[in-house]
Chains A and B, each alone.
Chain A
Amino acid sequence: DGGITQSPKYLFRKEGQNVTLSCEQNLNHDAMYWYRQDPGQGLRLIYYSQIVNDFQKGDIAEGYSVSREKKESFPLTVTSAQKNPTAFYLCASSIANGKEPYTFGSGTRLTVV
């Protein structure tokens, strides 16, 4: 079955550490997205990519970095510059330019310890 997989499901980070969240899809989607969700809040766009080797900043890109070396993969690194990284991170993918429905992964819960 086609789908989008995020790993790990739970992640704990120490202060000052960089951590990388994985997102892999086998839906042959061109576009991929990263969102941050805080408790009881909506979805805030971090980064998005519409094609391999190209990506754009979203609304809250500071303290995060991404790469898009393969169509199937769009990893997100939460750097030590992100001062409040504890949140639920969602990866999504879609056909074309974001006008098609998004398929979301099951998310990664990141906690700073």
Chain B
Amino acid sequence: GQQVMQIPQYQHVQEGEDFTTYCNSSTTLSNIQWYKQRPGGHPVFLIQLVKSGEVKKQKRLTFQFGEAKKNSSLHITATQTTDVGTYFCAGSGGYNKLIFGAGTRLAVHP
């Protein structure tokens, strides 16, 4: 069945460093969504990408959707301690539910 892989599983950074997480699908996606889960909290929707090659920005966060619509990335510039949490990608390939990646857990050291 359809799978969504996410790497890395875990990343430590010093505050101020950049961070990137990558998401790859085994099939073409009609759209991809990104969520953030703070420690002890629940996933919160960040953004959705729909178009091939689409790039969207939210302050220090940059989201990209690959040209083939099979991969995506989230890049955080100059991380802050408030960025700590787990970032999930989720893809919809035409099925009736989202397929979530396993998530990338980000730790930021001050």
Q: B-contacting residues of A (Cβ < 8 Å)?
A: 31, 33, 40-43, 45, 48, 50, 90, 92, 97-99, 101-107
Contacts and interface: CB of A to CB of B under 8 A. Distances in A.
A105 B48 CA distance: 19
Given A41-B102, A43-B88, A98 B41 contact: no
B98 A98 contact: yes
Interface residues of B, number: 22
State the 4 A-B residue pairs at the shortest beta-carbon distance, nearest first.
A42-B102, A98-B97, A101-B45, A104-B42
B48 A43 contact: no
A33 B97 CA distance: 9
A58 to B, nearest CB: 8
A103 B45 CA distance: 7
Given A42-B102, A92-B43, A104-B44, 12 more contacts: A31-B97, A40-B105, A41-B102, A43-B43, A43-B88, A43-B100, A90-B42, A99-B98, A102-B43, A102-B45, A104-B43, A106-B41
